[in-house]
Amino acid sequence: MDLVSTMVKISGVVGVLLLVVAYMVLAERRISAWAQDRMGPNRVGPWGLIQPIADGLKFLLKEDFTPNYVKQPFFWIAPAITIVPALMVFAVLPFGSFLGSQKMVIADLNIGVLYTFGIVSLGVYGIVLAGYAANSKYPFLGGIRSSAQIISYEIAMGMSVVPIFMLIGEPGLLKSLGGEGGAWAKFLAGTEGLNFSRVVAYQAESLFNWLIFKQPLAFLIFLVAAFAETNRLPFDLPEAETELVAGYHTEYSSMKFALFFLAEYANMIAASGLLVTLFLGGWSLPFLGLDDPATSVLGGVLHILIFMAKVFAVMFLFIWVRWTLPRFRYDQLMQLGWKRFVPLALANIVITAFVLWTVAGGQA
Amino acid sequence: MKVQRKTLSLAEKLYLPAIFKGLKITLRHMFKKKATMQYPEEHWVVPEGYRGAPYLVRDQHGRTKCVSCQLCEFVCPPKAIKITPPGPQVNPNVGNVEKEPKEFEIDMLRCIFCGYCQEVCPEEAIFLMQDYSLTGESRKEMVYDKEKLLALGGVHNDPIEKWKRKEMEAREQGVG
């Protein structure tokens, strides 16, 4: 029974995810057009809503060309390695409270955050491998840049979330949420420190508890690092068109290229999901009784919709920023990551620790 | 040479205010009226004096104004115009007062819309009109013949009607 419900959840999440990815591409094109006083694709179906299907068909029907100088096995496996981690991040994100008796998270891991960072780091392998396998200079440079960029920003990103779990780790979290026997007790059953469910539980109480307000600096660092990790403008150096043609996927065509393309958007959704869960209250809203885990099916569906709405809002921000800011220079990117964000994140940890210590009365 | 660089204020160094300013600008543009025209449905209104495709015109009496003088053919820089004059035989309807061309062809693929034909025409028989998107499925289709040019050109009101007077004079003298 457990296996069946997990399978259902996986297929549901992956299905929705791929659909959202497809429509993200459309959203990106429409929003970029609006930002430039254009209309964007609006011919295929009403408001261009069938456009993703047309795009997908195009990708499928194009010639899948493999240059004869590439390193074949790696060339073939790289797109898969890129997209799988992007989809796997969602396994630990609680995208809703309860639907019936099912907790709306695929794998309720107690090492949630560690898992996420581990998986996100895996994504870089696909890109590096693609750059290496293509055996040509632009993909090679793109792959190298990407690995340097992702590794650098992972440090800042990882350290930026440490204060969050210092806050979450406070004892008595469950007590302030209604104690044993309540809906929260059921939701948090068996969870420990690093579980994402606890992050949501912490933020559900009030709007002020949203960690974007409690940890604005952490939010800023995480947001910028998320841009860098997903290779989005202003940090899209791995595929900087003006200098690297298309970066690591220059030699790819057809569906293999589409996989990189989709992975980029899947990564974006994953990053948005993480942002929402960590800083924006996850599936909860601090009013209308939506702050507690749902007891009815309607409430459960509402929570899932709230989560999706928040994710869409963050993704709009991603797109909005992309069409506003110019690309950073490579040294600026590295400087920002190592010389600004890493010290800031460290300072944030120390300050948070100090404040928590003071609040606790200065005891060890 | 040493480049003078302005020392940045703290706000400028932080870069964030600049980002917000930029975001504000793009957001404003998202709700602005779009510059795009929905082309096949909407058409551009051409300004007066626009030089579109050259067409032949008739006067208000339905008479073809062109008299095959071939000046436009001569002046046409890309040699897009080809006129076949009627030769010596007389049109029984109008007598010998005019020489309507037997065939008049404009190759719209060669035409550069310079307007020399209109400028040089002594009869005000050819005009550059407002059509700017000419389409066809073959090169042959893009060579417009006399019927097509006249149909597209329509009627041009001629205030002088000099050929009507000439025709009357010719009738009075019993010629034609």
Domain assignment of residue B32, yes or no? no
Q: Is the dihedral of CA A324, A329, A330, A336 positive or negative?
A: negative
Mutate one of A325, A329, A335, A340 to test the B interface: name it (highest B CB count within 10 A).
A325
Q: Is residue B13 part of a domain?
A: no
Is residue B104 a part of any domain in this protein?
Answer: yes
User: Which residue in A has a C-alpha nearest to residue B41's C-alpha?
Assistant: A43
- In a domain, residue B26? The reply is no
Name the minimum distance, in Å, from the CA of A109 to any CA of chain B: 36
Closest CA of chain B from A153, distance in Å: 18
Q: Name the token pair of A214.
A: 């409690």
φ, ψ (nearest 5 deg) of residue B81: -100, 135
Identify the band that residue A264 occupies on the pLDDT scale cut at 50, 70 and 90. Answer: confident
Chain A's closest residue to B28, CA to CA, is: A35
* CATH number of the CATH domain containing B107: 3.30.70.3270
pLDDT of A341 strictly over 80: yes
Residues A90-99: what's their mean pLDDT? 79
Contacts of B33 in chain A (CB under 8 A): 37
Give CA–CA dist A173/A259, Å, rounded: 42
Residues in chain B: 176
Domain count within chain B: 1
Judge whether B75 lies within some domain.
yes
Which residue pairs, CB below 8 angstroms and at least 24 apart, start in A80-83?
Answer: A80/A126, A80/A259, A81/A122, A81/A125, A81/A126, A81/A129, A82/A123, A82/A126, A82/A127, A82/A130, A82/A259, A82/A260, A82/A263, A83/A126, A83/A259, A83/A260, A83/A262, A83/A263, A83/A266
Residue in chain B nearest A323 by alpha carbon: B26
For residue range A39-75, what is the model confidence (pLDDT) as tens digits?
888 888 788 888 888 888 888 888 888 888 888 888 8
Q: From its phi and psi, is residue B81 left (phi > 0), alpha (psi between -120 and 50) or beta?
A: beta
Query: Is the CB of B36 less than 8 angstroms away from the CB of A37?
Result: yes
Instruction: To the nearest 10°, report the CA torsion of A10, A12, A13, A17.
Output: 130
Query: Any CB–CB contact under 8 A between A38 and chain B?
Result: yes
Report chain B residues whose CB lies below 8 A from the CB of A34. Answer: 29-31, 34
CB atoms within 10 A of CB A169: 14
Q: Which domain holds residue B115?
A: 54-170
Select from B112, B118, B126, B129 the least CA-distant residue to B52.
Answer: B129
- A313 pairs with which residues across the strands? none
Nearest by CB to residue A37, choosing from B23, B32, B38, is: B32
Within a domain: residue B126?
A: yes
More confident call, B11 vs A221 = A221
pLDDT tier, A364 (very low <50, low <70, confident <90, very high otherwise) = low
Has residue B166 been placed in a domain? Answer: yes
Give domain status of residue B5, yes or no: no
Say how far residue A2 (Cα) sits from the centre of its chain: 27
